[in-house]
Amino acid sequence: METATANSMLVSLLCVLAIAGLVKVVNWIWLRPKKLEKLLRQQGIPGTSYRPLFGDLKDVASLRAQAMTKPMSSFFHDSLARIDPFRHQLMTKFGKVFFMWSGPKPTIVISKPELLREALPKIQEFQKPKTNPIVGKLFAGLVNYEGEQWAQHQRMLNPAFQTKKLKLMLPAFCVSCDERINKLEELVAEAGHGEVDVWPHLNMLSADVISRAAFGSNYEEGQKIFQLLREQLLLALSMLQSVYIPGSRYIPTVRNRRFNRINDEIDTLLKRIIDKRKKAMEAGEAPKDDLLGILMDSNMKEIKQAAASGSKNQRHGISLEEVIEECKLFYFAGQETTSILLVWTLILLSTHRDWQARAREEVLQTFGSNAPSFEGLNYLKTVNMILYEVLRMYPPAPLVPRMVFKDTKLGELSLPAGEKFAMTEAKIALSMILQRFSWELSPSCIHSPITVVTLKPQHGAEIILHRLR
């Protein structure tokens, strides 16, 4: 009798849990999305109709795949139709404010400057979205933090980007640029000119600069980390093509196992670099004037100050894991942003050779045939203007995602809850290239911008280099 009663209670409990789970799933997949859609339409915001679970993700992937098979017909620089054709279609249909569906969550797309100016400074209301755990592993560090944690990491990293520190890194920039440009010269040495795909060379240049300036190692020593990060990025992108189901990253699929193995390898390599530095600093060696040395020195000072003050109410220093996360971010963000800025600059200057000539004249007047100096960079007004215009036309990150976690007003809308381093490096690299080459666009160059996390040329960047000296 008691056994039957216990079994009956267990069955009842399981039924209640099953019904509660079912209600939660139905609410997540259907009821809440339809409620949010109704709220947005009541305010006059146009958008797509919600489709269960996937929303617009299948259309986004399908249109993007179609666009990637077709290069742009000419060097027309409004590239949104190619890099994000679904959003481009909706913008043409609905205007500058509309909503679409990323799975069961609505995404409000805003391209009105006045609303963007209002939203971006409101860091409490418009926060960085909670990332998919896969993305969180790939892009950890300062870029994902908010509040006090963000302020602490920024405070520790700020010294690395002060003028006096950047000035100390200048020799590393110049050595890396000189080595890579020498290799370009070797490619065209026989005839004095030749067609070169500069995209892989610029990738290696910026990778070498990050290795030297951030970690004091050369490109060969850092190459393994770059290769692993790139493979991990491609795996992550393939994993992000579908709606993330909580817990799915723990399923031991081939992709998940490889992703985690790469992550462990990268952590081991970086931990080895950090441990070596830590032992040297503990032995009394002065911290090095690179990004890692400055970060570790700032962290050590903060821990010592906290210990001296006896304060127990705030977080002191950052953990080894957080240092590793910042190192990964240095590697990826530092390498990607600079190489992308440089490649689009070379492509645009190959089609606007009058501006190329003006930039070269300015560089030669400032530096002659000598290596660039930190003080001289401030006089490169034309070069600076060109780089900023390229950033406007081909920003490394075309979209800036933000999420609201409580009901928020933006203009008339009620929303439901839900670079100094790179510019210095780019100026030096561009100046040294202008000193030693002129270039024009190769007839074989295919203009095909593509967004793979950042905006890059899908088929490389073929230009015809002419050696000047």
Closest CA to 327 of 270, 272, 277: 270
Same domain flag for 278 and 423: yes
Residue 295 lies in a domain: yes
Instruction: Tell me if 460 sits within 8 A of 183, measured CB to CB.
Output: no
Do 270 and 293 belong to one domain? yes
Secondary structure of residue 74 in the 3-state scheme: coil
Question: For residue 406, what pLDDT is reported?
Answer: 54
Same domain? 139 vs 111:
no
Q: Does residue 206 sit in the same domain as residue 89?
A: no
189 with 232, same domain: the answer is yes
Q: Residue 211's domain spans which residues? A: 129-467
Give me the sign of the Cα torsion angle 440, 445, 451, 454: negative
Q: Are residues 214 and 87 in the same domain?
A: no
- Would residue 413 count as lying in a domain? yes
Task: Verify that 405 and 269 share a domain, yes or no.
Answer: yes
Is the same domain home to 97 and 156? no
Question: Pick from 62, 81, 116: which residue ends a domain?
Answer: 116
Instruction: Name the token pair of 77.
Output: 């620089």
Do both 173 and 30 map to the same domain? Answer: no
Query: CB 445: neighbour CB atoms within 10 A?
Result: 22
| Confidence (pLDDT) at 418 | 43
Inside any domain, residue 122: no
Residue 425 and residue 446 in one domain: yes
pTM (predicted TM-score) = 0.79
390 inside domain: yes
- How many domains is the chain partitioned into structurally? 2
Q: 116, 138, 154: which is the final residue of a domain?
A: 116
d(CA 365, CA 308): 53
109 and 242 fall within a common domain: no
Token readout for 89 is 């279609």
Q: What is the rounded distance in angstroms from the CA atom of residue 28 to the CA atom of residue 240?
A: 19
Task: Classify residue 317: in a domain, yes or no.
Answer: yes
Q: Does residue 457 lie within any of the structural domains?
A: yes
Asked if the structure places residue 23 within a domain, the reply is yes
82/219 same-domain check: no
Residue 53 makes CB contacts below 8 A (sequence gap 6+) with: 29, 103, 104, 243
C-alpha closest to that of 266 among 299, 220, 216, 223: 223
CATH number of the domain to which 335 belongs:
1.10.630.10
| Domain closes at, from 116, 147, 173 | 116
Residue 121 lies in a domain: no
Report mean pLDDT in 10-residue bins for the chain, 469 residues: 68 83 88 92 93 90 87 72 89 92 88 75 64 67 62 69 76 89 92 93 87 67 76 78 67 85 88 84 77 79 74 65 78 81 95 96 96 92 94 77 56 53 85 95 90 86 92
